[in-house]
Amino acid sequence: MSDVTKLPEGAPEEVVTKALLREVDLTPFGFTGKLALITLDNGYDHNRPNTFGPVSLQELDAAITAAIAAKPAAIGITGKPFIFAAGADLSGIAFLANREQALAIGKLGHDVFRRLGECGIPTFAFINGLALGGGLEVGLHCNYRTLASTALTGLPEVFLGLIPGWGGATLLPQLIGPEKAVQVIMLNALNNNTMLKAKDALALGVVDAVYEPADFLEHSMDFAAQVLSGAKKIARADFSSDANWDSAIATGRAAALKKYGGATIAAPERALKLIGESRTATRDSGFAAEDLALADLTMTDSLRASLYSFNLIQKKRKKVEGAPKPALARKVSKVGVVGAGLMASQLALIMVRNLRCPVVMTDLDQARVDKGVAWVHSELAKLVEKKRMSEETARRLSSLVTGSVDQSAFATADFIIEAIFEELSLKQELFKKLETIISPECVLATNTSSLSVEAMSEGLKNPERVIGFHFFNPVAIMPLLEVARTSKTDDATTATAISVGKELKKTMVITKDAPGFVVNRLLTRFMGEITDAMDEGTPPEIADNSMRQIGFPMSPFELLGLVGPGVALHVAETLNKNLGPRYRISPTIKRIVEKQVRTFYIKDSDGKFIANPEAVALIEKGTNPSTADQVRVRALTAIAQEARMMLDEGVVSSPAEIDICMLLGSGWPMHLGGILPYLDREGISESACGQLFHPKAVASLP
């Protein structure tokens, strides 16, 4: 390994992926000859996937050299059980001190991988498990690819702020054509890093055959033998004259602009440029261009921010800060849902799908109950239609969801969540009534977005079993779950709630029972500054577009339409009452709610979104307008101030908890990193609060 590819002192030590070589006789598969099989294995179980750092690349290079020297009929490469390779080892990127290092590591990957496609011996990738990024690119350098039916694969680099830089951006478009390549490299990555299932990878032409995992290697050897003997022919198309190159690139660019609210982001642009150039690129020219793009992107703040976001999300999925010992959790064998409206019905659906236990819904009358239960049954049926669930499973789950107007149906429940109207007195009355029906150990959870959980528990015999369990809409898609403990909530209740949340596959943050918890408190403060600027006389289009330049997928007023002006006003009024006048009540929003205007934007006759004249007519006529930049700084300053107060109040345990909440609960852009590191980098933290939120992170930037 050259000095230039060595990571500086202090960087995490590379977990080396060994490349183990053995000889396989293909005679039993009908071909007389030997295959040199390289197995990638980092020595860990499947919880630690194979990755490629500089030393691992050298290990693979040595194995390829030894394989070529043995003069086999073919060379194959596979992975340890369940894992092929998860790509580059990204843990050391933040420690790269200069562009030369980044360029050298990119070139090293190309130099090693391309040997598999240029050694003059037929090469096969037997992709037996997860293959992402550089893991898939190893396979693309081979002449042929098989894939296990249970394996997921894809190129997530654009999602992280990179490009497929070890051959993917050049080889994949040449293999499957521009439209399909844009789908894999761009559209899937921008769609929350969607990975390819085996059947999709086969349909797209990314792989040549798919086999079941039980005898995957045997079938793959048979595939190789048939190719080598000539019994199986794999045709490759020439896409250089394809008429769809320009339209494919345009589709990718439109998707990126939509994802980032019209802002131009470096990684998607560089990826699209490479895809376009691959039409006529040689391996030398294509790989050289990838090296340059990878080096440029690696040294940006944007990549460091994306990796912070990605690593934080992965960490918080696995561990909930401040959670009691899991052994304290009680078993949940029956769930009650109070309410049968849309939110309550979504809660019932996610509970029955994941907990696989009886779920009973209640509401004020039978018609509402029937409508809620029918909605859940209908959604289960849709999953069958989409082939995401078997008919048998759907029937069984449907039978578990029932409804009643009598809350005595909750008598044997272990966990009850309410999703009724956001009125404190109603929730207090509900919990007091439920306490006369249920066992003392049954958890009472509330899906409130802004009301005091502790106030709901006042007057109860067992206030220790009340907890906030705040989901985000739509429940099935939004990954965040805020778990709010009161001063009385005990560890058994919290542990049970955390256990349920894990079964629901949610990323959880434990918060103090404070108004608005984390996401609604910050978003409401942020939105308040935008609407205040408009009320003061800033044209609505300037106020609403003030955050576009940093890549939000949705403007503040578009978000307001999604949430609903009535909900937003209710939360603002609650926070104004509990946190003071910095949460001002916008006269414009009050009028919009009173007049029942749903949104700031409507579609015109051509299907384009335009300002809603009804909403525009209700805007406060202020005389003190601001510029877009002034509005942006004002809104970000408010977030910094509020975040500092939340940390001082102990609403959450660390700045990272605020970051994860905003990433997963409000759609804060990945490429900006957490919201607080972004405020640090922009100088907002120091100007608003006199200190950074993440001083070490800022200090480590190049």
Closest to 570 measured CA to CA, from 418, 448, 456: 448
Eight-state DSSP code of residue 16: -
Are the beta carbons of 279 and 286 closer than 8 angstroms?
no
Tokens read off for 151? 């394996």
Mutual angle of helices 99-113 and 134-141, in 10-degree steps: 40
Amino acid code (one letter) for 191: N
Active site residues: 137, 157
Are the beta carbons of 698 and 677 closer than 8 angstroms?
yes
Amino acid code (one letter) for 250: A
Tokens read off for 153? 């694969």
Closest to 262 measured CA to CA, from 550, 675, 600: 550
- Residue 675, SS3 per DSSP: helix
The residues near 30 (Cβ < 8 Å, ≥ 6 apart) are 222, 225, 226, 229, 231
Longest dimension (CA), the chain: 87
The Cα 52–Cα 162 span in angstroms is 16
Eight-state DSSP code of residue 413: -
Q: What is the DSSP string of 207-246?
A: SSEEE-GGGHHHHHHHHHHHHHHTSS-------TT-TTHH
Strands 415-418 and 443-446 turn out to be: parallel
Mutual angle of helices 283-298 and 266-277, in 10-degree steps: 180
The Cα 228–Cα 74 span in angstroms is 8
Are the beta carbons of 123 and 265 closer than 8 angstroms?
no
How far CA 447 is from CA of 269, 333, 341, 352, 359, in Å, comes to 41, 20, 13, 17, 16
